[in-house]
Structure 1
Amino acid sequence: MTTIQRAGAGLIAAGALGALALQTYIDITKEGDQLLAAIWSQARYFTNLMMFSVGIFFAIQFANRRLAGPGWSTALTVWIVLVGIVYHVLLSSTHHPEGGDIVVNLFQHTIVPIAALVFWLAFANKQGLTFKHPLIWLACPIGYVAFVLLRGAFDGTYPYFFLNPKDIGWPGVSAYVVGLGVLFYVSGAILVGIARVMGRGAVSEA
């Protein structure tokens, strides 16, 4: 990695993990949660799981001084960018953070997703990606949906209205899941297409 690449990876890791740390601190001090209870509660949200994944992913690149392979790099970019898109399209109108939550929300849904996308466009390995890869990357959101629905069946709590069968019914949940699955695949395919175009451009310049 170049100095700029390593600095970028370090800043993204710090932003993602720092936002999670601040969220945990807020949950403990304001809500009175214990540490493990706060972490277990946060694990209900796709946003927090992806922030943790992105933070660790970029921290590893920073520590190893090497760029990751194209598959993981592009998959995580798709997932974290869609965290921001889904939030701003479906959830932001009913979410009104206050105090420290404003900072957490800004990093989780705007700064980190944009930074990860910019890093991918500017620096990430993109060779060898095909349009089959986005199908593989669907395993993450599908697994998350299964986790949320199973957990909700036991404790009756669902993190998002579009995954809550008590609010919108199972047909509504199914429709959202299918729609979001299409969105995840199309978003992944767009990045694959960009990677292939940029790869051809690099070959032509060479």
Structure 2
Amino acid sequence: MRRAVGILRLVAAATGLVALISYFVYVQGFSTFSTANYFAYFTQQSNMANVVVMAVSGVFFLRGRRDPPWFAVLHALVTTYVIVSGIIYGIIVAQSAGHNYTIGVPWSSQVLHFYLSTFVLIDWVLAPGRTRIRWRVLPLVVPFPVVWGIATIVRGADVGWYPYFFLDPAQVMWPGEFAFYNGIAVGTIIGVMAALIGLSHLRPRRDVFTGAVPPRVLGGAAEGERARG
């Protein structure tokens, strides 16, 4: 099982890399294209990180190792960002159709926004040998999107281009609509991260790596540790 999961993660990493390159080639035909604009998208940044995380975690699985605690947190953060980018993009595409405006979604964009976001969610839910993540790391999911948002707004004011409508002052009213849309985005990020942390606490009856029954956790300490104490 772990070999199959490891191979699937490596395939996902390779697929993400190919999709990123293909989408870069595709958007070169747009008048607003620039290399800086391409890499300014939250989707591109989160998927580039996801390529690295999937590759490293795939190697861990092939070697029969769990994710180290620090890497498990990084894995959860990147998985959150990939899932949320897919959710937000799906909403934008759906709303554009309702306003008689069609957004082109080439196969590379579909892979980045929908297929990979679905894969990382299924992988997180079903892959064996999850490393349990502590709830206290939940606030760590906020700084990157906030810093990215501030940097995007500052850059947008300078170059006159924004990757998403809810950051563009010409498309959303300040401060009401701006706070509303961005509040939804941040709330979604926190909610998805919370769900992933909660799922990491659901362990199988038997550990797939050692065959042992994992200890139950009470108050943050394993029962066996409490008994020895």
Range class of TM-score, shorter chain: 0.7 to 0.9
1:52 aligns with 2:48: yes
Q: Report the secondary structure of 2:48's partner residue.
A: helix
Identity %: 18
Question: 1:39, 1:115 → 2: CA distance?
Answer: 27
Partner of 2:39: 43
Question: 2:150, 2:129 → 1: CA distance?
Answer: 31
Question: 1:63, 1:38 → 2: CA distance?
Answer: 34
Contact 1:8-1:119 within 8 A present in 2 as well: no
Contact 1:24-1:38 within 8 A present in 2 as well: no
Tell me the CA shift for residue 164 of structure 1.
Answer: 0.8
* Alignment of structure 1 residues 1-206 onto 2, 5 Å: 2-28=2-28, 30-31=29-30, 38-63=34-59, 65=62, 68=67, 69-94=71-96, 95-97=102-104, 101-123=105-127, 126-171=130-175, 172-196=177-201, 198-199=202-203, 206=213
Question: 1:122, 1:41 → 2: CA distance?
Answer: 35
Question: 2:109, 2:171 → 1: CA distance?
Answer: 25
Aligned-residue CA RMSD (Å) = 2.6
Structure 1 window deviating more from structure 2 (103-112 vs 167-176): it is 167-176
Q: Report the secondary structure of 1:168's partner residue.
A: coil
Question: 2:128, 2:75 → 1: CA distance?
Answer: 7
Number of equivalences: 197
Structure 1 stretches lacking a partner, 5+ long: none
Cα gap change, 1:15 to 1:166, in 2 (>3 Å): same
Q: Report the secondary structure of 1:190's partner residue.
A: helix
- Which has the larger helix fraction? 1
Cα gap change, 1:7 to 1:106, in 2 (>3 Å): same
Tell me the CA shift for residue 67 of structure 1.
Answer: 5.1
The aligned amino acid for 2:7 is A
Q: Report the secondary structure of 1:165's partner residue.
A: coil
Map Cα deviations across residues 151-189 of structure 1 (whole Å, 9 max, x no partner). Answer: 112111111111111221331222222222111111111
Structure 2 stretches lacking a partner, 5+ long: 97-101, 214-229
Contact 1:10-1:58 within 8 A present in 2 as well: yes
Question: 1:145, 1:53 → 2: CA distance?
Answer: 17
TM-score, with length taken from structure 1? 0.83
Question: 1:45, 1:118 → 2: CA distance?
Answer: 24
Structure 1 window deviating more from structure 2 (121-130 vs 72-81): it is 121-130
Tell me the CA shift for residue 127 of structure 1.
Answer: 3.3
Contact 2:166-2:172 within 8 A present in 1 as well: yes
Cα gap change, 1:27 to 1:183, in 2 (>3 Å): closer
Contact 2:47-2:82 within 8 A present in 1 as well: yes
Question: 2:186, 2:38 → 1: CA distance?
Answer: 23
Structure 1 window deviating more from structure 2 (57-66 vs 185-194): it is 57-66
The aligned amino acid for 1:96 is I
Map Cα deviations across residues 25-49 of structure 1 (whole Å, 9 max, x no partner). Answer: 2234x3489xxx7432211211111
Tell me the CA shift for residue 74 of structure 1.
Answer: 1.3
Contact 2:130-2:200 within 8 A present in 1 as well: yes
Rg comparison, structure with higher value: 2
Map Cα deviations across residues 76-105 of structure 1 (whole Å, 9 max, x no partner). Answer: 1111111111111234432531xxx52012
